[in-house]
Amino acid sequence: MKEYDIVVLGGGPGGYVAAIKAAQLGAKTALIEKENVGGVCLNVGCIPTKTLLKSAKVYEDIMHSEKFGIDILDRSSININLDNLMKRKDSIVNKLTGGVKVLLKQNGVEVYNGYGEALDKNTLLVNGETLKTKNLIIATGSSTFIPNTKGLKEAFEKGYAITSTEALTMDKIPENFIVIGGGVVGVEFAALYNALGSKVTILQRSQILRSLDKDVREAMEKILRSKGINIVYGVDIEKYENNKVICKVNGEKKIYEGDKILISIGRTPNLKGIEKLNLKLDKKGIVTDEKLRTNIEGIYAIGDVNGKYMLAHVASAEGIAAVENIMGKEEKINYDKVPSCIYTFPEVGVVGLSEEEARERGHKVITSTFPMTANGKAMAEGETDGFVKIVADEQYGEVLGVHIIASHATDMIAEAVTTLELEGTVYDLAKAVHPHPTLSEVVMEAAHGAIGKPIHIFKK
Distance of CA 290 to the CA centre of its chain: 22
Over residues 341-355, the pLDDT tens digits come to 999 999 999 999 999
341 assigned to some structural domain: no
Count how many domains the chain has: 3
Together in a domain, 138 and 276:
yes
312 lies in the same domain as 425: no
Residue 29 pLDDT greater than 80, yes or no:
yes
> Is the pLDDT reported for residue 9 higher than 90?
yes
Whether residue 457 is contained in a domain is answered as: no
- Is 13 in the same domain as 89? yes
DSSP 167: H
Name the percent of the chain lying above pLDDT 90. Answer: 98
Q: Note if 64 is an active site residue.
A: no
Question: pLDDT value at position 39?
Answer: 95
Judge if 42 and 55 occupy the same domain.
yes
Q: Are residues 7 and 123 both part of a single domain?
A: yes
Same structural domain, 358 and 280: no
User: Average pLDDT of the chain?
Assistant: 97
**Listed residues 245, 265, 285: the one ending a domain:** 265
Average pLDDT over residues 251-268: 97
User: What is the reported pLDDT for 349?
Assistant: 98
- In this predicted structure, what is the pLDDT of residue 348? 98
**Residue 311: which CATH number?**
3.50.50.60
**Which pLDDT band holds residue 438 (cuts at 50, 70, 90)?**
very high
Read off the pLDDT band of 397 (50, 70, 90). Answer: very high
Dihedral pair phi/psi, residue 328, rounded to 5° = 100, 0
Angle at 81 between CA 77 and CA 85, to 5 degrees: 145
pLDDT of amino acid 273: 97
Q: Are residues 281 and 210 in the same domain?
A: no
Q: Which of 309, 335, 361 is the last residue of a domain?
A: 335
Dump pLDDT digits (tens) for 93-111: 999 999 999 999 999 999 9
350 and 445: one domain? yes
C-alpha distances in Å from residue 452, one per residue of 358, 393, 400, 447: 21, 15, 18, 9
Q: What is the mean pLDDT of residues 310-328?
A: 97
CATH number of the domain bearing residue 371: 3.30.390.30
The predicted structure's pLDDT at residue 6 = 98
Residues in the chain: 460
460 belongs to a structural domain: no
Count of CB atoms within 10 A of residue 389's CB? 24
For residues 400 and 354, what is the distance between their CA atoms, to the nearest angstrom? 8
Per-residue pLDDT, 306: 98
Per-residue pLDDT at 119 exceeds 80: yes
Domain boundary among 230, 248, 265: 265
What's the pLDDT score for residue 459? 81
Q: 121 with 161, same domain? A: no
Q: Are residues 242 and 272 in the same domain?
A: no
- What's the pLDDT score for residue 460? 74
- Quote the pLDDT of residue 19: 98
Judge whether 340 lies within some domain.
Answer: no
Tell whether 38 and 128 lie within a shared domain: yes
DSSP 44-90: HSHHHHHHHHHHHHHHHHHHTGGGGT---S-GGG----HHHHHHHHH
Q: pLDDT per residue over 204-243, tens digit each?
A: 999 999 999 999 999 999 999 999 999 999 999 999 999 9
Q: Is 83 exposed, middle or buried (0-12, 13-18, 19+ CB in 10 A)?
A: exposed
Instruction: For residue 28, give its domain range.
Output: 2-144+268-335
Whether residue 359 lies inside any domain: the answer is yes
Angstrom distance (rounded) from CA 375 to CA 426 = 19
Q: How confident is the model at residue 435 (pLDDT cuts 50, 70, 90)?
A: very high
Residue 447 lies in a domain: yes
Task: Give this prediction's pTM.
Answer: 0.96
Q: Is residue 33 part of a domain?
A: yes
Catalytic one of 363, 403, 434, 436: 436
Strand 252-257 relative to strand 244-249: parallel, antiparallel, unpaired? antiparallel
Quick check: 51 and 88 in contact, CB under 8 A?
Answer: yes
The confidence band for 112, taking pLDDT boundaries of 50, 70 and 90, is very high
Looking at the structure, do residues 41 and 176 belong to the same domain, yes or no? no
Domain membership of residue 107 (yes or no) is yes
What mean pLDDT comes out for the span 138-166? 97
